[in-house]
């Protein structure tokens, strides 16, 4: 079993939809939780960063962490075509970052 599981999609939604991206993990030692966004033919860039259970908001994006269930989510409100990208969850422990497989999102105009 992988330490971090993420549905690879692809996920296709109409513009304006609410998008929910999710990851589960098996190791309770993970300390920090991140979401990276990767546009086509580019490297990943950090989108959201959190270290505790609960919600964190940044504009149209909300990151949610539930440590008791070992589950993290990224919500995108009012999705835009410019949000079309691959979204990778990542978790930190012991000096290393462990990534999920990435979910490919397409937002159609």
Partner 1 sequence: DVKVTQSSRYLVKRTGEKVFLECVQDMDHENMFWYRQDPGLGLRLIYFSYDVKMKEKGDIPEGYSVSREKKERFSLILESASTNQTSMYLCASRPHDKRGRTGELFFGEGSRLTVL
Cα 65 from Cα 47, distance rounded (Å) = 15
DSSP string, 42-77: S--EEEEEE-SSEEEEETTEEEEEETTTTEEEEEES
Binder to partner 1 among 31, 52, 55, 69 (CB under 8 A)?
Answer: 31
Quick check: helix, strand or coil at residue 83?
A: helix
Q: Strand 11-14 and strand 103-108: pairing?
A: parallel
Nearest-approach distance from CB 102 to partner 1, in angstroms? 5
Residue 79 interacting with partner 1 (CB under 8 A):
no
Is residue 40 involved in binding partner 1 (CB under 8 A)?
A: no
Closer to partner 1 by CB, 43 or 109: give it.
Answer: 43
Binds partner 1 (CB under 8 A): choice among 15, 45, 57, 58: 45
For partner 1, the binding residues (CB under 8 A) are: 6, 8, 31-32, 34, 41-46, 49, 51, 88, 90, 92, 96-97, 99-102
């Amino acid at each position: 079993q992988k330490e971090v599981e993420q549905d690879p999609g692809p996920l296709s939604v109409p513009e304006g939809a609410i998008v929910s991206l999710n990851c589960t993990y098996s190791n309770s030692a993970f300390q920090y939780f991140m979401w990276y966004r990767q546009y086509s033919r580019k490297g990943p860039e950090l989108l959201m960063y959190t270290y505790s259970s609960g919600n964190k908001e940044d504009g149209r994006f909300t990151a949610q962490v539930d440590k008791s269930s070992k589950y993290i989510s990224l919500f995108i409100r009012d999705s835009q075509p410019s949000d079309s990208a691959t979204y990778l969850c990542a978790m930190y422990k012991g000096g290393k970052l462990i990534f999920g497989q990435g979910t490919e999102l397409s937002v159609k105009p």
